[in-house]
Amino acid sequence: MLTTIEPKLPEATLVRAAQSGDRVAFGELYQEYGRLIHGILLAHVSYQDAEDLMQDVFMKAIKQLPSLREPAAFAGWLIAIARRTATDYLRSRKTTLPVGEFLSVGRAPDGEAFAILASIQQLPKSYRETLIFRLVEGMTGPEIAARTGLTRDSVRVNLCRGMKLLRDRLGGQGKV
């Protein structure tokens, strides 16, 4: 029996459909960009908070989508919403929770993984996001470049330098 695979619609077509209220099209955009947005959030906040904020990002996106003038700008627009959401969340939390305590949230069940994540979150932003995309979200270098608009060489440099900083921060313990 032959099975047919439905061809993937171009992103601009999905965006236009979602702007017209097509929830299925927006669901496909969610599937396409979920890992990217999760990675951006995870570069800034704890794992648990990233899960919650991811929903916030997509809720903001669906509400603001009709105002997006250029469908081709969807990825950058969504990334900006994610970064702004993380920044706003951190600003609201700073008055009530010290940074050290904030980064160590969720040490169990896998304390080592959360300790490494906390170390990544303390790296410079350009390395932090790229490392999260690669190590946590499992994206390849070319995928990261395509999603973020960075060149492949920039991604490679960010990964290399970020891994070196992370190894130094972890004391060369071979955990990464």
- Quote the CA–CA distance of 62 and 26 in Å, as a whole number: 8
Q: Does 138 map to a domain? A: yes
Per-residue pLDDT, 47: 87
Instruction: Tell me which of 76, 98, 120 is where a domain ends.
Output: 98
| 90, burial (CB in 10 Å: exposed 0-12, middle 13-18, buried 19+) | middle
CATH of the domain at 80: 1.10.1740.10
Four-CA torsion 172, 139, 130, 66, nearest 10 degrees: -160
Domain contains 2: no
Tell me: do 74 and 110 sit in the same domain. Answer: no
User: Which residue range is the domain that position 70 belongs to?
Assistant: 9-98
What is the spatial distance between Cα 102 and Cα 96, in angstroms, rounded to a whole number?
A: 10
Report residue 53's pLDDT band, with 50, 70 and 90 as the boundaries: very high
The rounded mean pLDDT for the chain is 84
Q: C-alpha distances in angstroms, 127 versus 24, 98, 154, 173?
A: 34, 23, 10, 20
Calculate mean pLDDT across residues 52-64. Answer: 95
Residue 65 has pLDDT above 70, yes or no: yes
Q: Is residue 174 predicted with pLDDT exceeding 60?
A: no
What is the model's pLDDT at position 103?
47
CATH number assigned to the domain comprising residue 141: 1.10.10.10
* Same domain for 59 and 112: no
Tokens of 83: 């970064």
